[in-house]
Amino acid sequence: MNKIKSIVVASLALTVGLVSCDSGNMRRTPGHIYAPDMTYSRAYDAYTSNPNFEDGLTSRRPVSGTIARGHEMPDHMVEGDTAGYKNFNTELRFTDNELDEGRRLFNIYCGICHGTALDGQGPLYASGKFASMPANLKDAKYLHMSSGQMYAAIKYGKNMMGAYASQLDIKQRWMVIAYIKKVQSENGGDAFAYGAAKAAPAEVAAAPAPAAEEKAAH
Ligand code: HEC
């Protein structure tokens, strides 16, 4: 009997203890604060007003000319400057993997019209639903077209062809062009000039070797 009594008392005490823990309304004040500067930030929150700036905004725009990490420099091509288009070019050079990526992007964005064979016979044109013949990039007319003109076509569009500037960033545009130029070079176009110099694995391993090689080359 005593045992049952003590179990009842213990469980009652436990219940009372648990209930008293949950006071029903959350305490929002931290009580005594040791370092108020740390508890209550003195910095302005991003979207609060700010008397220190004329426009009263705390969030500032980046300094003009700032380039976000991982983004390219602007290309400085000017729309309509067709003479400028012709000489426009890039210092970028591409590995085989990047050329593969160029092909992938071409097949996604351009192949529908220009055809995966670059012959202007893409499914959209072949279906008869697109009246304007896309450039046959293997045709003599385009085989020696300057890369800058191609770049302009991608960036601004050309007659019935829309611009692809919002789909392809600067490097991607050049990867697509490098891929086109590669295919053209294999079909009577100019020698391919966008390939990255390949370092043979043996050369990478023997790092100090290039100096000797350079002498030999001169
Ligand atoms: C909706 C169909 C369509 C798509 C998609 C398309 N093109 Fe075109 N493209 C055309 C047509 C049509 C022309 C011919 C324009 C003209 O000369 O009147 C053309 C012309 C061109 C030319 C020649 C430009 C010149 O100055 O004569 C190039 C280079 C070119 N396209 C590259 C591309 C690339 C690269 C892509 C993908 C990023 C692409 N095109 C996507 C339809 C398309």
Domain that residue 102 falls in: 94-185
Q: How far apart are CA 75 and CA 169, in angstroms?
A: 11
Contact 135 CB / ligand 1 (< 6 Å): yes
| Cross-strand pairs, 49 | 57
196: in domain: no
195: in domain: no
CB half-sphere exposure, 126, CA atoms < 13 A: 12
67: in domain: no
Contact 153 CB / ligand 1 (< 6 Å): yes
Ligand 1: nearest atom to the Cα of 159: 18
166: in domain: yes
User: Has residue 207 got a pLDDT over 80?
Assistant: no
| Cross-strand pairs, 94 | 195
pLDDT tens track for 97-150:
999 999 999 999 999 999 999 999 999 999 999 999 999 999 999 999 999 999
Q: Quote the mean pLDDT of the chain.
A: 86
Q: How many domains does the chain have?
A: 1
206: in domain: no
119: in domain: yes
Report which secondary-structure segment, H or E, holds 203. Answer: helix 201-205
pLDDT tens track for 2-34:
777 877 777 766 665 555 555 567 777 767 888
Q: How far apart are CA 177 and CA 194, in angstroms?
A: 9
Report the length, in residues, of the chain: 218
User: Has residue 79 got a pLDDT over 80?
Assistant: yes
Nearest CA to ligand 1 atom 40: 110
Taking the centre of ligand 1 as the mean of its atom positions, its distance from the CA of residue 172, in whole angstroms, is 16
124: in domain: yes
Taking the centre of ligand 1 as the mean of its atom positions, its distance from the CA of residue 92, in whole angstroms, is 22
pLDDT tens track for 166-187:
999 999 999 999 999 999 999 9
User: What's the chain's Rg over C-alpha atoms?
Assistant: 33
134: in domain: yes
Nearest CA to 163 among 117, 127, 122, 109? 109
Q: Measured over all CA atoms, what is the biggest interatomic distance in the chain, rounded to whole angstroms? A: 107
Contact 121 CB / ligand 1 (< 6 Å): no
Contact 92 CB / ligand 1 (< 6 Å): no
Q: Model-level pTM greater than 0.85?
A: no
CA 10 to mean position of chain CA atoms: 65
Contact 109 CB / ligand 1 (< 6 Å): yes
